[in-house]
Structure 1
Amino acid sequence: MLLPVIMAGGTGSRLWPMSRELYPKQFLRLHGDYSMLQETITRLDGLSIESPLVICNEEHRFLVAEQLRQIDHLSKNIILEPVGRNTAPAIALAALSAIANGEDPILLVLAADHVIENNPAFHAAIQHAQPYAEAGNLVTFGIVPTGPETGYGYIQRGDALEQGTAGAFTVHRFVEKPNKETAETYIASGEYYWNSGMFMFRAQKYLTELGKYRPDILAACQKAIASTQTDASQEFIRVNKAEFIACPDDSVDYAVMEKTADAMVVPLDAGWNDVGSWSALWEVSEKDDNNNALTGDVFLHNAENCYINTDEKMVAAVGVENLVIVNTKDAVLIIDKSKVQDVKKVVEYLKSHARTEHRRHRESYRPWGRTDIVVNEPRFNVNRITVKPGGIFSLQMHHHRAEHWVVLAGTAKVTQDDKIYLITENQSTFIPVGSVHMLENPGKIPLELLEIQSGSYLGDDDIIRIKDHYGRV
């Protein structure tokens, strides 16, 4: 049995404005029927695997839990990183968690934000690699290159191994992202693969090698996981924050794979793409007769080679080519497809000017549902709120704002000071400043309501939580 370890950290800023810090690309539906995280897990169907371990940032925990629940893979299997410390410590946490019950499973380490279009070839490579991992090797999957790509690191293969001489090799060396000329020599030699960042090895073998080359990382992770807490209601595994913050930052390549004598590479030719830019997403998307990849309500005339994705509003494009146009509820990106790496300039501008569009969408997801900021003014906000069945706000109060709730659909159970009452469609209630209150959805359908906030200060730090069902402070 394989234990998949899904790396779901990262912010995916190169796919702004759809991907943002609080809702990065791995949780978006960009290619296929599910989010990229869900696609990563469901493409393992048909293999003999255990329920996957997912490693994610603390602030993404409810989003990950909900997406795992939707595909029936939620089972106390989410490890929360208090801070990002790169892939070597993250995999160490997974390996330490995996051996805690005395077993030593084979870990299949995957990124949550890759596209793989040929599942049978992907499964075949995994099955081909498994005996080598069982024998004590640290396997990496090298992507068979389709051209002299300068955006990836490369793996140079060494000697062919006895079994499967056409499909398994020792690793001669890892190399950094090359310039165009160097990449062309790599491709011409036939000895190089793109570095996919996917691995397979026994949990204890990885920890042993990490202990040889980065004992400081191993020691910090051992201390961090020694006082692990599991939130039974939300399926989260929390490590010791202070100990993990003290852990050095390093990638699995630098910390282990480039140093170990037991690294090997299995070639993978399965339509892999790390979707690191809008142009990369255009490459893997279905296209019309003029090579346009379209999502949403789009009208085109004399347009070609474009990627257009729109949330709600119609986008009309006339007489254009090689453009990326991405429309969300609060931002529009228009960029030449050959310049998509410069999206980072937009994100840098937003950060330097203390704007929020790099961090959050107008619509945000909460453990109880979601909220869409319809109006945002200094002294009043209007939010459209959806509360899933069984969802419940924290018991809270505010020092500076009052709230007016208007039910659009469903039934709300309201706690206000010493009163508990129901309001239904077309009814409303008023929560004055200083009132202790809570709202929940006792029904079997989503509860839709408008929330009008008004007052001298409307910041989130005026939410004084008295009791919370989701472990929030």
Structure 2
Amino acid sequence: MIYPVLLCGGNGTRLWPLSRQSLPKQFVKLVGEESLFQASARRFSGGQFRDPVIVTSDSFRFTVTEQLEAIGMRAAATLIEPLPRNTAPAVLCAALWLREQDPGADILVVPSDHVIPDSERFRETVEAALPAARNGSIVTFGIVPARPETGYGYLELSDPACRLASTPQALVRFIEKPDSATAQAMLAAGHFMWNAGVFLFSVETIVKAFERYAPELIAPALAALRQAKPDLQFTRLAEDPWSKLQNISIDYAIMEKAENLSVMPYGGVWSDLGSWDAVWQEGTPDTNGNVLSEHATAIDCRQSLLRSETEGLEVVGIGLDDIVAVAMPDAVLVARKTDTQRVKQAVESLKTRGVKQATAFKSDHRPWGYYESLALGHRFQVKRIVVKPGAALSLQSHHHRAEHWIVVQGTARVTVDNEVRLLGENESTYIRLGAVHRLENPGKLPMILIEVQTGSYLGEDDIVRYEDMYARG
């Protein structure tokens, strides 16, 4: 059986402002009605595939669970990384965990933010590569290039005919992201493929590879796993040994050193959506080559991407050629398509200036639902709070603020000190400064309320938690 290992890290910078550190692109609906993470999980489910092993950060553990539940799936394990350490430690810990559970398992390492429209064809490609993996090969997947792309790494094969093979082929070498002229030359040569960053191997093969090529990672990874603590349905890796792991990708740690590598060619459509230009390429263009969202209008525009991510906010382009314009409620990006690889540079500039839109949205997701800041001024803030059915905020108090709650949809169960009461639509209550309180949704539909905060400090760190069903500190 094959265990998909879905890697769910990332800083969410390349597709800013739609993707941000607080909710990176794999959890966003960029193409279709599911997030990229959901599409990846569904793609490798059923048949020979077991429930996935998820490797993610503390910030996204509830997002992962919620998105899997929404498509009727669950994880075999969700490993929580205490700190970002790149893909080599993540893959190693997943392999060591699987060695304890199923020593004969096969592992398919898959980034969770790729677009592969023909899922069945890619699954068949994985299964065609399985015999080589079970014979001790580390199989990487190569994509037949459609253009001279400078945003991808490449794989060199021995001759052009290898790209059409139905079984894994010998790898000559890895090539880093090229400049435009080199990419053009490799496309013309015909024996180069894009590196998809997808790998297939047995547990035994990959552990032996780490023991040979990156032995310094073994001891801290084992310690992080053996000292891990259960946290609800998650496995929280131990921070001290994990912090001693080198921050290194699996490409540098293993793939560029291993001698038992082979390449499984894939001739279908694939994209890692690494830039807004890539999003345009994966879209459905109009007769002028424009890709438009529901709330976007193009007049005399060509080859452009216009997106509004907010109902009621219209984006209109006039006379634009090869332009990307993406509008969010709190930020707008306008760039030439050829410059969209520089979005990360813009995000770093915003961070330097202390602009919160660089990393966070107006809407902040929590395991119980989400809240959105509607207005913020001196000594006051207005929020819209949405609580999922059956969910509850922690039992908490604040040192610096009082709160007024007004229910606008559904029913709220409100605890204030020793009093518990139900509030229906258009009913309200007051939470005095220092009061121990909790908000719950006992109903079967989302509950929405408006919260008005007043006080000397309104930051999210002014929370003292006494009880929490999500085990947050």
TM-score normalised by L of structure 2: 0.96
Say if 2:186 is the partner of 1:186. Answer: yes
Distance, in Å, in 2 between the alignment partners of 1:173 and 1:339 is 29
Aligned to 1:97: 97
Structure 1 residue aligned with 2:57: 57
Greater than 3 Å deviation, 4+ residue runs? 158-162, 164-167
CA distance in 1, matches of 2:166, 2:78: 37
Structure 1 equivalent of residue 279 of structure 2:
281
Deviation of 1:452 (Å): 0.5
Does the CA-based 8 Å contact 2:139-2:168 persist in structure 1? Answer: no
User: For the Cα contact (< 8 Å) 2:54–2:75, is it kept in 1?
Assistant: no
1:363 maps to 2:339: no
Corresponding residue number in structure 1 for 2:213: 213
Q: Is the 8 A contact 2:25 2:36 kept in 1?
A: yes
SS of 1:273's equivalent? coil
**CA positional deviation for 1:45:** 4.5
RMSD of aligned Cα (Å): 1.8
Amino-acid identity (%) = 40
Question: Per-residue deviation at 1:102?
Answer: 4.5
Note if contact 1:79-1:237 (Cα within 8 Å) is conserved in structure 2: yes
Separation in 2, partners of 1:314, 1:180: 35
SS of 1:30's equivalent?
Answer: coil
Whether the 8 Å CA contact 2:289–2:303 is kept in 1: the answer is yes
2:107 equivalent to 1:141: no
Q: How far apart, in 1, do the equivalents of 2:457 and 2:322 lie?
A: 45
Deviation per CA, 1:13-67, whole angstroms, max 9, x where unpaired? Answer: 0111011001010100001220000011122355421001111111111111111
Cα separation, 2, equivalents of 1:166 and 1:453: 62
Q: CA deviation at 1:165?
A: 5.8
Q: Taking structure 1 as reference, are residues 316 and 102 closer, same or farther at Cα in structure 2, changes over 3 Å only? A: closer
Q: Structure 1 stretch 461-470 or stretch 39-48: which is displaced more?
A: 39-48
**Structure 1, residues 146-204: CA drift from partner, whole Å, max 9, x if none?**
23222221111249999x96542122211212223322332233222111100000112
Task: Report the counterpart of residue 470 of structure 1 in structure 2.
Answer: 470
Tell whether the 8 Å contact from 2:306 to 2:317 is kept in structure 1 after alignment.
Answer: no
AA at the equivalent of 2:293: T
Q: Distance in 1 between matches of 2:348 and 2:65?
A: 30
Write out aligned runs for 1:308-387 (5 A): 308-310=306-308, 311-312=310-311, 313-387=313-387
Classify 1:182/1:306 alpha carbon distance in 2 versus 1 (closer, same or farther; 3 Å): closer
What secondary structure, in the 3-state scheme, does the structure 2 residue paired with 1:99 have? Answer: helix
Say whether 1:437 aligns with 2:431.
no
Unaligned runs of 5+ in 1: none
1:260 pairs with one of 252, 258, 261: 258
The answer as to whether partners of 2:17 and 2:326 remain within 8 angstroms in 1 is yes
Distance 1:96 1:89 in 2: 10
Deviation at 1:314, TM superposition (A): 1.5
State the Cα deviation string for residues 99-122 of structure 1 (Å, max 9, x = none): 112432100111111111222331
Q: Whole-Å Cα distance in 2 between the matches of residues 180 and 317 of structure 1?
A: 29
Unmatched segments (≥5 aa) in structure 2:
none
2:296 aligned partner, one-letter code = V
Q: Give the total of aligned pairs.
A: 470
Q: Please show how residues 110-125 of structure 1 align to structure 2 within 5 Å.
A: 110-125=110-125
Please name the residue that 1:198 is paired with.
Answer: 198
Question: Counterpart of 2:358 in 1: which secondary structure?
Answer: coil
Cα distance between partner residues in 2 of 1:61 and 1:84: 14
Please tell me the residue identity of whatever aligns with 2:136.
Answer: G
SS in structure 2 at match of 1:14: coil
With over 3 angstroms needed to count, the CA separation of the structure-2 counterparts of 1:135 and 1:160, relative to structure 1, is: farther
1:184/1:346 CA distance change after superposition, 3 Å? closer
Matches within 5 A, 1:78-97: 78-97=78-97
Whether contact under 8 Å (1:159, 1:170) holds in the other structure is no
Once residues 50 and 422 of structure 2 are traced to their aligned partners in structure 1, the CA distance between those partners, rounded to angstroms, is 43
Match of 2:298 in 1: 300
Distance 1:199 1:156 in 2: 16
- Give the Cα–Cα distance (whole angstroms) in 1 for the partners of residues 66 and 2 of structure 2: 23
Aligned to 1:32: 32
Shift in Å at residue 294 of structure 1? 1.2
Between stretches 22-31 and 323-332, larger displacement belongs to: 323-332
Task: Give distance in 2, aligned partners of 1:161 and 1:242.
Answer: 49
Instruction: Return the offset for 1:216.
Output: 1.0
The answer to whether the Cα contact below 8 Å between 2:397 and 2:435 also exists between their aligned partners in 1 is yes
Asked if structure 2 preserves the Cα contact closer than 8 Å seen for 1:161 and 1:168, the reply is no
CA contact under 8 A between 2:217 and 2:246: conserved in structure 1? yes
For 1:390, the equivalent position in structure 2 comes to 390
**Alpha-carbon distance between aligned partners in 2 of 1:261 and 1:158, rounded to the nearest angstrom:** 15
* Alpha carbons of structure 1 residues 408 and 166: separation in structure 2 relative to 1, 3 Å: closer
Any idea what SS the aligned residue of 2:101 has?
Answer: coil
CA distance in 1, matches of 2:425, 2:229: 41
> In 2 relative to 1, CA 45–209 (structure 1 residues): closer, same or farther, beyond 3 Å?
closer
Rounded to whole Å, the distance in 1 between the matches of 2:40 and 2:139 is 19
Q: 1:453 to 1:76 in 2, by over 3 A?
A: farther
Q: How does 1:216-227 map to 2 (within 5 A)?
A: 216-227=216-227
Give distance in 1, aligned partners of 2:235 and 2:75: 11
Change beyond 3 A, Cα 1:320–1:181: closer
Q: Secondary structure of the residue that 1:279 maps to in structure 2?
A: helix
Secondary structure of 1:272's counterpart equals coil
1:212–1:277 Cα change, 3 Å = same
Quote how far apart the aligned CAs of 1:124 are.
2.2
Q: Is the 8 A contact 1:407 1:424 kept in 2?
A: yes
- Aligned mates of 2:401, 2:274 — CA distance in 1: 42
Q: Residue 93 of structure 1: CA displacement?
A: 1.0
Change (3 A) 1:319 1:179: closer
Contact 2:143/2:196, CA 8 A, preserved across alignment: yes
Helix, strand or coil for the counterpart of 1:435?
coil
Higher deviation after alignment, 67-76 or 3-12: 67-76
